[in-house]
Structure 1
Amino acid sequence: LTPKSLVAGNPKLNLAFVANLFNTHPGLDPITEEEKADIEDFDAEGEREARVFTLWLNSLDVQPTVVSFFDDLRDGTILLQAYDKVIPGSVNWRHCNKRPANGSELMRFKAVENTNYAVEIGKQNRFSLVGIQGADITDGQRTLTLGMVWQLMRKDIVNTLGNLAQRMGKREISDADMVTWANGMSKKGGKSSSIRSFKDTTLGNGIFLLDVLNGMKSSYVDYDMVASGRNDDEAYANAKLAISIARKMGATIWLVPEDICNVRSRLIVTFIGSLMATAEKMGV
């Protein structure tokens, strides 16, 4: 890199120069072990959610198949397909830029037009997208991309619970409604366990979820196989058992035992939502 090329305004060369400068002389204090653990936890949660959202998007039969979550959503075409599947009629395809037939990428300004439109559709459907712009999705901003797709997935879950919402006299099921339902199922099965929210740390030992399943169909839960959940191994075994029983009941499950043990609240919402939909089919 020469002084002449630096002032020539080549964005890629300038980005490489600044990136190398930052990596060589960041001017930052070394992070503590506690801060490092927090960063690793955030990355792990983001990756787990991205994995679940990838499976969910592919279940909608979007094209092409999502392989790399953040990269594949950058041009907005997958997001717009997902909106159209979850909220039929929400997308005016004349306003969308399609990927070239030769398989090449959309130009950035066309990709941003798509992602801006995706944000607009979300706001029209009461998604919480304050401060989010289409360019954030196109730039692969992890937290904002996860936040948008989560709300779209949650909308899909809520749609499947439409009949239950009508019986409750509600427009749609809220998280609080899901918590109330889950606590009611635990009580119905003769158990006293309950939660206040999907961030309740007691969810981590898996017992409450087993109590909910027991309330749905008691013959499916053998409490001789349920551990106390006092250590990581016991909690994992309980979480694995809960997922196995839920699948046996016919529920569509997106999470893995680690998500329960680590109380990944968004993913636990998908679990309870699926159980509610399954209970509807079972007539519970």
Structure 2
Amino acid sequence: MSPYKIYITAGLIYLVHLATSLILSYDVIPSYHDTAIKTVVKLLLVVVLAVAISRCILYVGLWQYNWVFLVLGLLLFYLAIMYKTTSTKEPGMYLDQYAHYFFLFWCVLTAVFEELLFRVFLFNGILRSFKYQKKKGALLGAMLWTSVLFGLAHISNFFESDHHPYSVTSKIIIAFGLGLLFQSVYVRFKNLSIIVMLHAIINYLGGFKGKVLAHVNDPKENIYTFSEFVETLTVALMFLIVLVAPIVYLTVRRELRSGMRTFK
């Protein structure tokens, strides 16, 4: 599959995903069907992605040391679950078991979808395009462009009722940083399992309170002020500069120095 076809296919897949969120945000369909529809659509898109990736030339493998990374990822996920279910004890809140099990599935499904789309499909397409053009710094360029697109993809959160517009801006920046981290781990270790598990853990930790814990709504709880936005944005920028950049360099410095020779 040529880079052009990869871009078109990835764009169509994301547009279907975005259109689904947009349509459901306007309550065109009864709200109790929203989750089921989103799940079915995302499962179908994962299947489409898997078929598309099987027809691509991958410069970075998917399953190196797979059992080791899979066991490590599952162990980390289990520890995250134990931490949240035992430490989150707040007055007036209780754990909704059904919501918890479904949320676990949703975290993994979302991670699989986004990692296949960005870290594997788009990344290899951009890398192949740069290779054809014989661009210097092709690997770093592909990593950056993929991470930028991953961050911008979170604009879809504007259509989610539980996301404040201020918070979405900072989440886009954080998503870019996390995308760059995940991409460097994928390039260094050539394994999909570990980045899917890490992504699922972040989804789980970030959404646990709002998606799983049932409580009496407090109007003050949903207020997101501009000052909180500035604080979050500052933390996000510091996260990129102080943490992401050094870790990315240390993780893939060998690959960056060797350039495209690593992927021939």
TM over 0.5: no
The structure with the largest alpha-carbon Rg is 1
Please report the TM-score for the alignment, with normalisation by the length of structure 1. 0.25
Please report the TM-score for the alignment, with normalisation by the length of structure 2. 0.27
Q: Which structure has the higher relative contact order (CA within 8 Å, separation 6+)?
A: 2
